[in-house]
Amino acid sequence: MQKQNPENLIPLVKELERYIALKDKRNDAVSKSDVAWQIDHSLKVLNLVTNSIIHSNPEDYKWRFNKWRLLLFTLGYIPRGKAKAPKIVKPPEVITLDDLKAQVQLAYNNVERLKPLNKNASFTHFVFGQLNRDKTIQFLKLHTNHHLKIIKDML
């Protein structure tokens, strides 16, 4: 398996950060949410997943085949509207500029925290199952790109 570099997440966080200025834009033909929702959700996922994997026990990791992980990670694509965001990563009703900026800074810090992790540090996703460090980084790239594409289509 190809080693995933956490540094590859930095340009994605920077891109999310650039869209903050357009946070109130919406396009109901593309999404029921606004740009702020997409940014907030993406950052919540990145930050909470990072926190989860950092606090995992590498000895608990066990690889298991998962057809959805194989298919979607190979395609590099998450289809729209097929999964609902878990409550913990749903944005609040009011998303403030200060909160988005704080989450961006936390995301930059969390990318750094991914670098020294054991290859078997893991995160369990509700569809893709248990993901080791490299698959978690791959998931974060896939997920963030998914929401960046939605933002671009909205604008």
- Number of structural domains in the chain: 1
Q: Which of 47-51, 77-81, 106-110 has the lowest mean pLDDT?
A: 77-81
Residue 106 lies in a domain: yes
- Which residue range forms the structural domain that includes residue 110? 6-25+32-154
DSSP run (H or E) holding 69: helix 67-75
When pLDDT is averaged across residues 65-93 and rounded to a whole number, the result is 92
Residue 109 lies in a domain: yes
pLDDT, greater one: 85 or 34 = 34
Q: Tokens 């993406």 map to which residue?
A: 42
Judged on CB neighbours under 10 Å (0-12, 13-18, 19+), 15 is: middle
When pLDDT is averaged across residues 77-89 and rounded to a whole number, the result is 89
User: What pTM value is reported for the model?
Assistant: 0.96
Residue 56 lies in a domain: yes
pLDDT tens digits for 97-142? 999 999 999 999 999 999 999 999 999 999 999 999 999 999 999 9
CATH code of the domain covering residue 13: 1.20.120
Residue 1 lies in a domain: no
Residue 10 lies in a domain: yes
